[in-house]
Structure 1
Amino acid sequence: MAVKDRDRFSTATRLRVLGEQTAARVYRSQTKRQARRSRLTGRAALLALVLCTLVVALAYPIRQYVSQRAEISDQQREQQQARQRVEQLRDLKARWQDDAYAQQQIRQRLHYVLPGETGFIVIDPDAAKQSRTDQGAADRPWYSNVWDGVDKSDAADQ
């Protein structure tokens, strides 16, 4: 037993035991860290899965909400424009109720003159040149001139 006691208290034995204990502690801490890491990884994966599910579940309703808000603002803008147009038309109607304005517009647009007045129409020189280029408009029957006018106005629309 004396040899055993001596070995037990020898420096080499103590260092070997101390190394084994240290190695056991390191191994245990590594396995705890790995266990903790694996738990955190599992938790992180679950958290990521939950977040992805929430994003996917909420993406469509949020998209619909945003598009509906844009549509509402478009409708409000159109409503405001319609209100402005109604106000303009009311103003125009009120002006046409005034006899002086109606008479002015009739004289201006339809070239009407009052009894005793002489009406003059000034012809644009450029328009006169253009009418001269029409080949014998005065020589043709009136219905040909009408159809030519319809064809020209139809071509202008296109």
Structure 2
Amino acid sequence: MSSIVKVVKTTSENPDFLSLIKTFDEYLWERYPELKTNYWGNNVIELNTNVVVIYLDEKPVACGCFKKYDKNTIEIKRMFVSPEARGLGLAQKVLHELELWAKEFDYSISVLETLYKQQEAIILYQKVGYVIVDNYGPYVGLDKSVCMQKIIGKIYK
């Protein structure tokens, strides 16, 4: 019996997104207790109208969002897949949906930041075309951050 996967474009006010993010934050606190003071200000989600939630048999199991970084660039934020739904390609699906959505707004570059222990995430991002770049913006000088970038559309100068 196959599962039903549903992709929903929504906002950061979506209760299922908020629930997934709460679980994500708890996971990160456990995995990185040493970073509580340095990093979490960068993960506050202000109102965001570019959120994707994926449901597996009506249960919210994966999410991500993007925000404008500059005129040509989006930043991927809050990528998370519930432990019980990992290995099903859902993170890749979230990323793909976010990149397609960003291209609708003529963005051409996607950047993101993850943490050094997130090896599975780093491998996934590289698999779908992201490359490691120098830390940008709020992550400059933070040695636990891994910043990545991908060209998602035509670059206009």
Same fold (TM over 0.5): no
**Structure with bigger RCO (C-alpha 8 Å, 6+ apart):** 2
Which TM-score applies when normalising by structure 2? 0.17
Choose between structure 1 and 2: higher helix proportion: 1
Choose between structure 1 and 2: higher strand proportion: 2
Which TM-score applies when normalising by structure 1? 0.17
